[in-house]
Structure 1
């Protein structure tokens, strides 16, 4: 399988191809999945001197890592106030100390390996009503308490300087956030793994695993023997390969459109300081400019990852509600992709048995957390498990209703929150 027909695939950097596994090979660590989670893990491990093999069913960055909105957003899908309330002060202290680390890792990777991925600093959380604005004031205080002092509250005048839309009453600018071309980041990290001696095999899906002291991961034409396995498949894992993971999570679809190139004047009139933006709704919209002056706009969730018939018809009304001045603008790209949702909206990290780790369920907050997770699993393999275990201790509950009813139950809950967003309560 090749990458979907997206703006990212059309503007991807070119690197030497990766082969398909057709032999039995050995290594220290076998990573299953070449999205951000697997690539971050493999890069940290190869930098530390481990012999690493990465197996990818399709292409590097095929899933959410190469299809997302490209926003570098700090913290987790559930912010630190929810963590404090539900998991206690010790968990909040540990997780809070790491909530800005993923973005720092991305910055370091881009600089260290000269990855050309159009990085631009600055991300805005945009409030649609007074209730959301009050929440952003509290968020600023919490994030400052955990070490982020590059935050600026935007009043109604300030948000107008950033976004040419009448919808927003204010916002919070995080200067430690930003936006980038995610597929080019993934491809650049894969190339860095190559430079450190790591091996990646594309079109080499894991179809069966033998557990034990020596683990064997079989593909259609080959086998990897390893001391350690890292499951980094997220929303694109089939249930028959590892049902222990799929029963605790649910794939969800999201959609993105990209306009035709806009004039420089029009593009900069929309977002004069070239920040990325996400609103504060439960089912949020997000948007930004690309490096060649297109508007990228995404939003919506389809529970269960069903492919929509017409992405443009779903997203165009959302975009025009925010930017009515774009009436008549054409779309050059539209695509959908899956991310993995957990019941708690917190990522799931853990260990099945000795030497077999898993990382999944970023719940829409994956660009930054996946990079942190790669560092944490590397620490765990090296015997330093404290930070990994801070996440592994969090409850990992199945969705109510089992496999058949989890989708309608979740959709009902989401509809309730969407109704609250609509009326600002």
Structure 2
């Protein structure tokens, strides 16, 4: 398949990441060809599509997933691998914007995505190096106040598995002098993200689901009583359509194109460090992210590499030199790693919503969508997949709450959303730098 047929995915193969290099064996699925009919058709074989599909086949639905490249090709197969509870927007922000009832509702599901992941891994014996705990770090006194406020706020909603760490306590988890302290979430964790996606795809197929790969969607009819999805070689007619393309849906569904903006983030993987050296860096094997606006995030892989990520590029372009972009920050966190070899460096897009709250809704009567996780898609996508499956199965209780949350376009419209967001990020970066 040539690049012209995959305008967003090159030749459709996975990016040259550590995850692709260490992926579990997986079959190559056929392209969609000819005309087909199905109960539910899902566009996108990332976490949102796989989660929705797996929940539905467990309920007995006939489901097909159409993927433009390979399973987990997008953000689901190249992210930091961190199970971080919550949305990008804080519970306090949600309360201010949408009211106490919505904040209470969101608080009731912020840990659900991680619980779903753990259940999937256990039920379907998915080999993805799943580990527990994540740590949020603060670089300034202001960051530490913010973390304490977060812990107390979550505790007020009954979420009490977080605890503050002062500078000395944090050293037991992260061997770095950079931080003032941190907050550990015992219900967080990390895993190999591509292997999680591949394992969920295998479970979906074992229960009767069908996945078509290398089948970019070129047209969608959402107005028909039975939606139709068209690719270069075939089409699928369905009772219910679910759009889970997220940052890579492109312009296929114009109604959704300008609701979110693609933003790229970067990750690199060092050479294997060995058990002793890796343990000296992160003794408890938790994953870590700081709370700056443009943050660093890192963890150890199953074979004891340091996976270090960060940076953002609004609009979704890939930096010309990912390693140089990330290495300076890695050296600040762990100066003892200066000169260590980097074996892999890659980039990928997530979908940013202006409000930093994911969006869920319908187009017409029989087309559903979910997108805009804003960097918190590992857990959010699994939760939203369950909610979408509930709605399709007739229970709209939770779906209706999210569908009724207002969404806001990016100021400046199509032309100026990128420069507007860049100016905003510079402002928040300055606040982080000066500790305000």
Counterpart selection for 2:226 from 214, 217, 231: 214
CA distance in 1, matches of 2:183, 2:241: 40
- Tell me the C-alpha RMSD between the 2 structures: 0.8
1:70 aligns with 2:81: yes
Report the CA distance between 1:16 and its aligned residue.
2.5
Supply the distance in 2 between the matched residues of 1:180 and 1:229 (Cα, whole angstroms). Answer: 30
What are the Cα deviations for residues 57-105 of structure 1, in whole angstroms up to 9, with x where unaligned?
A: 0000000000000000001011211111111011111111111111100
Cα deviations by residue, 1:86-136 (Å, 9 ceiling, x for unpaired): 110111111111111111000100000000000010000011111111111
Determine if contact 2:175/2:334 at 8 Å carries over to the other structure.
yes
2:303 is the alignment partner of 1:295: no
Q: Count residues in correspondence.
A: 424
Q: Output the CA distance in 2 between the equivalents of 1:232 and 1:146.
A: 30
Q: Is 1:394 paired with 2:384?
A: no
CA distance in 2, matches of 1:30, 1:335: 31
* Cross-structure match for 1:322: 333
347-356 or 140-149: which moved more?
Answer: 140-149
Q: TM-score if structure 1 supplies the norm length? A: 0.99
Gaps of 5+ in 1: none
Structure 2 unaligned regions, length at least 5:
1-11
1:235 equivalent to 2:247? Answer yes
CA contact (8 A) 1:154 1:173 kept: yes
351, 354, 360: which one aligns with 1:349: 360
User: Contact conserved, 1:95 with 1:390, CA < 8 A, in 2?
Assistant: no
Measure, in 1, the Cα distance between the counterparts of 2:429 and 2:237: 48
- Work out whether residues 226 and 366 of structure 2, in 8 Å CA contact, stay in contact via their aligned partners in 1: no
Could you tell me which residue of structure 2 aligns to residue 189 of structure 1?
200
Which is worse superposed, 5-14 or 383-392? Answer: 383-392
Aligned-partner Cα distance in 2 for 1:249–1:85:
22
The offset of 1:9, in angstroms, is 0.1
Asked whether the 8 Å contact 1:255–1:336 carries over to 2, the reply is yes
Q: TM-score, normalised by structure 2?
A: 0.96
For residues 332-352 of structure 1, what are the alpha-carbon distances to aligned partners after superposition, in whole Å with 9 as ceiling and x for unaligned? 000000000010011010011
Match of 2:127 in 1: 116
What's 1:49 paired with?
60
Partner of 1:414: 425
For 2:66 and 2:124, the matched residues in 1 are separated by 22
Q: How does 1:146-295 map to 2 (within 5 A)?
A: 146-210=157-221, 211-239=223-251, 241-295=252-306
CA separation in 2, counterparts of 1:16 and 1:280? 39
Decide whether the 8 Å contact of 2:134 with 2:184 is kept in 1: yes
Map residues 87-166 of structure 1 onto 2, 5 A cutoff: 87-166=98-177
Cα distance in 2 for residues equivalent to 1:169 and 1:407: 33
Question: Is the Cα–Cα contact under 8 Å of residues 350 and 374 in structure 2 kept in the other structure?
Answer: yes
Deviations 1:229-258 (A, max 9, x none): 00000111121x111111111000100110
**Structure 2 contact 94–103 (Cα < 8 Å) conserved:** yes
Tell me whether 137-146 or 298-307 shows the greater mean CA deviation: 137-146
How far apart, in 2, do the equivalents of 1:422 and 1:246 lie?
A: 34
Q: What SS does the corresponding residue of 2:414 show, helix, strand or coil?
A: helix
